[in-house]
Structure 1
Amino acid sequence: MLKDKYRLQIPGPTPIPPRVQLAMSRPMIGHRDPDCSRLVREVSRRLGPVFGTQNPVLLLTGSGTSALEAAAANLLAEGEEAAVVVTGAFGDRFANILNSMRVKVHRLDVEWGKACHPEQLDAFLEQHPRVKAVFLTFCETSTGVLNPIRELVGRVRERTQALTVVDGVSCVGGVPAEADRWGIDILVAGSQKALMLPPGLAFAAVSDRAWNAMETNPHPRFYLDLSNYRKSLEKDTTPNTPAVSLLFGLKEVLDMLDEEGMETVFSRHRLMMEMTRAGIRALDLELLTEDRDASPTVTAVKGGKTWSSEDLRKELRRLGLRVAGGQQHLKGKIFRIGHMGYADPLDVLTTLSALEVALARIGAPVETGAGTQAAEEEWIRVSRADHRSVKQTGN
């Protein structure tokens, strides 16, 4: 295989579109230059529809975890109570962040591979009426679960005065997100997933309720003080030096999303999910999640009885394809296929074809062609349905 050519099908970082790479190669400008101010103003406002907010979106230079910690540090102080819904490794990370701040954490642990459903959250909140904030994970990257955030946030707002913080790092830009309409108080995301950029930028959409809570929160913070980002954004800048090259790339990403149309973007991600799941089933492999809980951006698959997921990943790597492994207690037990951002149905077919070859090469029982055929049939089915819909609407 060509050493410098491979397919990146992990849940992040994800492939970078060539036009975005080209945009990031522009000559550097000063971060206090008027050109940079225009860029900051433009991208922060154009991110609003992606997050479903009327407010400009805050731009942080850091990984997605920096925005998670910023949300916690700005809303809560030592000794206050918070609830964390843990459906995988990144819900667990939310809890660890809060523990490091000496917040009193109440964990709702859900079996990995399953989503949290509103009835579970209802019962849990009744047991913990003093929580000031509820932390939720939209897409749990470690398991491929998409939690029903709209319903979960709605239950929190109906039954408590608690604020809601949502980790949307591995799905914002690939699934509908309506921070304002759903009542999310802080929705955060990162650059290196569905938003098709390298790691290094984090984003936060913040509600008026959250801003009010921050004003009275005594917890010390400096680099992650969101009020400083808000004040700076009012002047079309950032409080600290931003990742300027990534801002160039972000503008290009937003152009791409506008050109495709967000509804089409969401449909493409859902199609890739359905193709992947159809192909995995046709190969007699076991999916970690049920269909109702599945994420359009990442799919988790269990290893076999006679072969390990790590052996399979090594063989796929030899073929020039990268997929991710499991995390924590799922390490060595599953592998994860990313299908988000700069990805399309042909990438799914390539992944399934490589998967068939790799399975055969490690001695696993496999019917070559079964996975790709099932995925192709799903693609054709959806394409025909879309064609009929277009004809019926007369467009």
Structure 2
Amino acid sequence: MTSLPDNSDSYSLLAPGPVNLHPEVLKTLALPMIHHRTPEFDAILKRVLKKMKDIFQTTEDVYMLTSTGSGGMEALLVNVLSPGDKVIAIVSGKFGERWAEMAKTFGAEVHVIDVPWGETVSVAAVSELLKKHPDTRAVLCQACETSTAVAHPIEDLGRVIAPYTETLFFVDGITALGAYPLPMDAWGIDGIVAGSQKAFMLPTGMSFISFSKKAAKFFDSAKSPRFYFDVRKEKKANAAGETFFSSNVALIRCLDVVLDLILAEGLDAHYARIHRRAEFTRKFAQELGFTLYAKSPSDSVTALKVPPAMDGQKIRLHLEEVHNITIMGGQDQAKGKIIRIGHMGYIQDAEMLRLIECLGQCLYHFDSGFITLEQVAMVVRDAQNYLEQNG
């Protein structure tokens, strides 16, 4: 096959979020603005709220907030917590750290389970800590810890936490929900948050949350300060066919389109397509000489350890400046040691193939003795065959 030119005009956004937008989303973003208090938008809102339950796989209400995912994480906490409540926070990366700090900010007594970066939490460790603190109000965990690409055992954790009638299981599904199975009701999840810029293929700017009935009983007794994120206001407004504050008309209108696309394809087929991208990336990146960072890798994002003596930050920058491909590097203790590649959004096979070729060229650029261009070409040919045989 013919190698792509180094300065290809084709831009690929292959980060863990934001992601490539679906062409139908781009068309919808270009439509004239409408007001959020009109029959036209009311009909859109009603459709979206109903369809979101199918994505969350819940019979409970799903609420839409004009905020990033971190706002949704905060909204889950403030609607059920009071100062002094005990919280168990599973910290396995940057976003676990963030959620633990949020809980501390609102006066919770936070017990941290530190998990080495790249590893998954021990369900037994969570069980033991719950036995020591049976009055825990909430257990916090990322479904996918975006900074490490680790997928935690959410279903197993749900089973352990469920018997504690006053303890809630809260899940950060920002880099997971809509990308792989995470059924809220079936897995005993009491609160979950998702983000618009991930599997929902939208720009950044909205978070989506839902609470179980078990969690909702704490809404009125929670003493954490809340105003914008008071879900009781949103619940009442949604029941009347509106949002409490001004609606994010542009993104909600796009969400209506995306939900139709996902549900028409079917969740299983949608998940399978993302899984195929993840498997492809893991397989051929390793053939180039990278190794997996996460011991239990997520299908939404892959973290790759760069070869010894190479700098992941330089590889990421070279990909962007020379090959017009955006991925992400590592954070904090993983900075320079890993690169992270997202599998959500509108990604075509040609982009996946081009990524493998350009990653190989980067390795050759930074250490020509590590891999030859002939070896890169062989991996790319194998990758092309894989895509054709596993379409």
Whether TM exceeds 0.5 here: the answer is: yes
Match 2:157 to one of 152, 158, 166: 152
Match 2:122 to one of 117, 124, 145: 117
Greater alpha carbon shift after TM alignment, 1-10 vs 188-197 = 1-10
SS of residue in 2 equivalent to 1:337:
strand
Match 2:106 to one of 58, 80, 101: 101
Provide the rounded CA distance (Å) in 2 between the counterparts of 1:191 and 1:88: 21
SS of residue in 1 equivalent to 2:219:
helix
* 2:46 matches 1:38: no
Match 1:22 to one of 15, 21, 27: 27
Provide the rounded CA distance (Å) in 2 between the counterparts of 1:92 and 1:67: 16
Which residue does the alignment assign to 1:269? 274
Q: Is the alpha carbon distance of 1:353 and 1:159 closer, same or farther for their aligned partners in structure 2, counting shifts above 3 Å?
A: same
Q: Deviations over 1:129-155 (max 9, x none)?
A: 221111111011111111111111111
Which residue does the alignment assign to 1:350? 354
Provide the rounded CA distance (Å) in 2 between the counterparts of 1:255 and 1:296: 22
Q: TM-score, normalized by length of structure 1?
A: 0.92
Whether the aligned pair in 2 keeps the contact of 1:62 and 1:200 (CA below 8 Å) is: yes
SS of residue in 2 equivalent to 1:179:
coil
The alignment-based identity, stated in percent, is: 33
Q: Is the alpha carbon distance of 1:314 and 1:68 closer, same or farther for their aligned partners in structure 2, counting shifts above 3 Å?
A: same
Which residue does the alignment assign to 1:372? 380
Match 1:257 to one of 258, 262, 275: 262
Whether the aligned pair in 1 keeps the contact of 2:22 and 2:345 (CA below 8 Å) is: no
* 2:208 matches 1:209: no
Which residue does the alignment assign to 2:3? none
Whether the aligned pair in 2 keeps the contact of 1:63 and 1:200 (CA below 8 Å) is: yes
Which residue does the alignment assign to 1:390? none
Provide the rounded CA distance (Å) in 2 between the counterparts of 1:239 and 1:307: 51
Provide the rounded CA distance (Å) in 2 between the counterparts of 1:327 and 1:260: 35
Structure 2: 5+ residue stretches without partners = 1-5
Provide the rounded CA distance (Å) in 1 between the counterparts of 2:94 and 2:137: 23
Provide the rounded CA distance (Å) in 2 between the counterparts of 1:157 and 1:49: 22
Q: Deviations over 1:201-246 (max 9, x none)?
A: 1101211111111121122210000111111110111111121100
Greater alpha carbon shift after TM alignment, 1-10 vs 170-179 = 1-10
Total equivalences in the alignment: 381
Q: Deviations over 1:245-268 (max 9, x none)?
A: 001110110111123221111101
Which residue does the alignment assign to 2:192? 187
Which residue does the alignment assign to 1:173? 178
Whether the aligned pair in 1 keeps the contact of 2:142 and 2:172 (CA below 8 Å) is: yes
Shift of 1:283: 1.2
Q: CA RMSD in A?
A: 1.7
Match 1:309 to one of 305, 309, 312: 312
Provide the rounded CA distance (Å) in 2 between the counterparts of 1:123 and 1:373: 50
Match 2:66 to one of 38, 61, 65: 61
Greater alpha carbon shift after TM alignment, 341-350 vs 9-18 = 341-350
* 2:365 matches 1:361: yes
Provide the rounded CA distance (Å) in 2 between the counterparts of 1:236 and 1:56: 13
* 2:340 matches 1:336: yes
Q: Is the alpha carbon distance of 1:311 and 1:238 closer, same or farther for their aligned partners in structure 2, counting shifts above 3 Å?
A: same
Which residue does the alignment assign to 2:93? 88
Q: Is the alpha carbon distance of 1:344 and 1:5 closer, same or farther for their aligned partners in structure 2, counting shifts above 3 Å?
A: closer
Q: Is the alpha carbon distance of 1:128 and 1:375 closer, same or farther for their aligned partners in structure 2, counting shifts above 3 Å?
A: farther
Structure 1: 5+ residue stretches without partners = 384-395
Q: Deviations over 1:70-122 (max 9, x none)?
A: 00111111111101111211111110111111211011111111111322321
Whether the aligned pair in 1 keeps the contact of 2:9 and 2:324 (CA below 8 Å) is: no
Greater alpha carbon shift after TM alignment, 116-125 vs 41-50 = 116-125
Q: TM-score, normalized by length of structure 2?
A: 0.93
Provide the rounded CA distance (Å) in 2 between the counterparts of 1:274 and 1:206: 32
Whether the aligned pair in 1 keeps the contact of 2:289 and 2:307 (CA below 8 Å) is: no
Whether the aligned pair in 2 keeps the contact of 1:75 and 1:210 (CA below 8 Å) is: yes
Whether the aligned pair in 2 keeps the contact of 1:274 and 1:378 (CA below 8 Å) is: no
2:347 aligned partner, one-letter code: A
Whether the aligned pair in 2 keeps the contact of 1:14 and 1:342 (CA below 8 Å) is: yes
Which residue does the alignment assign to 1:323? 327
